[in-house]
A = this chain, B = another copy of it.
Amino acid sequence: MISVKEAKNIILNTTQDFGVEEVPFIKSVGRILKEEIVADRDFPPFNRVSMDGICIDFKIFQTEQRAFKIEGIQAAGNEQITLQNSENCIEVMTGAVLPKNANTVIRYEDVVIKNGIATIAIDEVFDFQNIHKKGKDGKFGDTLITENTKISAAEIGVLATVGKSKVKVAKQPKVMIISTGDELVSVAENPLAHQIRRSNVFTLVSLLESLKIDSETAHITDDKAILKQKIKMFIEKNDVLLFSGAVSKGKFDFLPEVFEELGVEKLFHKVAQRPGKPFFYGKTANCNIFGFPGNPISTFVNCLAYFYPWYYKSIGIEIKEETAILTKDVSFKPNLEYFLQVKLSYKFGHTLATPITGNGSGDLASLVHADAFIHLPNDKNEFKKGENYPIIRYRL
């Protein structure tokens, strides 16, 4: 049995490259950028008026002149006009190009306009005020967004600005999520006394959806020949298989045998943790196989603790580790690392984690009351209020 750290290392050493695809920029939120975004012109591309008002030649203001005849209007979206007489002014609108020969903008609030004459009502005026200078935020050719950035609404604005109507992003893996177990019936069915509805595959679909991965699902009955035939096909057609169940010690837990017969390289089977211990991980040349234990919380936490980091590393991003402070003492005797469900709260810049006690790894409903798992090490049995440990969030 290996430690969580060893398991994670093995997983992170067996990542894949799914390649790159081009998508419309507006569909790229949540995807990972696979090109550098550079400025296609200066930002701003011209001396941009940043207040509605009048513009003048500062030299004339310095001569104590305060009344300026209005020569014209420079609206946003119009070609640059010229201040013909430097003793006059031009009305300018936010977003407009600064007129030629002008260099200072005084906002309407500080001006009185009467009979075509604008009189400046203040004395504190500076050269180039209220002008967002050409190239101030970036020069033509500057890198605005680096490769491997996760695209958010902030990046969408920049992509639009530089005219990237299509953008290169990391391709998503092709994932098949497979449930086994003859006790499972579909969600729309009424289970018999000894049956339950499938739920883990849908939980996994949702966990992948929050990574913007579209996955497929399948259910295979506990029959070794059928399992083998179907899994062979799934391995050929997918980058990743996620299994829930049938990796334990049961008579009908055929998966480990089937994997061996199909030439899957077993990298480990069992991690010193609770929940989620009987976790199988293996691979073929082109497919990584995560065999999560069938208990709902085990499947859930292992997807977060192992598949997520594997995926992040595969597509080239690093995720900052978050920690939280226990609000209660926790005692945990087994010599296992403990992924404990916690409810998060926030105070004075601190993230607080309050343990939620469920009834073990089968108690799916207890996940509803928590926001995250806190990861407690196995080098001690008592965890004190006030101590901080890493967390894995599944809710915001």
Please report A residues at the B interface, Cβ cutoff 8 Å. 25-26, 29, 41, 43-46, 48, 50, 52-53, 73, 75-80, 91, 93-97, 107-109, 132, 136-138, 144-145, 149-150, 152-165, 181-184, 187-200, 202-207, 209-210, 222, 245, 248-253, 294-296, 300, 320-325, 344-353, 358-360, 362-368, 370, 388, 394-396
Contact = CB atoms under 8 A, between A and B. Distances in A.
A160 B198 contact: yes
Contacts of A165: 187-188
B362 A132 contact: yes
A154 B76 contact: no
Closest 3 CB pairs of A and B: A77-B182, A77-B183, A349-B388
A351 B94 CA distance: 37
A239 to B, nearest CB: 21
Contacts of A108: 249
B253 A52 contact: yes
Contacts of A163: 187-190, 197
A215 to B, nearest CB: 11
A132 B364 CA distance: 13
Contact of A325 (B204, B248, B349, B359): B349
Contacts of A192: 79
A359 to B, nearest CB: 5
B395 A154 contact: yes
A195 B77 contact: yes
Nearest to A203: B157
B346 A323 contact: yes
B364 A157 contact: yes
A358 B353 CA distance: 34
A53 B351 CA distance: 42
A197 B160 contact: yes
A205 B26 contact: yes
B138 A362 contact: no
A199 B144 CA distance: 15
Given A157-B296, A163-B187, A194 B362 contact: no
A76 B160 contact: no
B210 A394 contact: no
Contacts of A46: 193-194
Contacts of A252: 75-76, 93
A346 B359 contact: no
Nearest to A326: B349
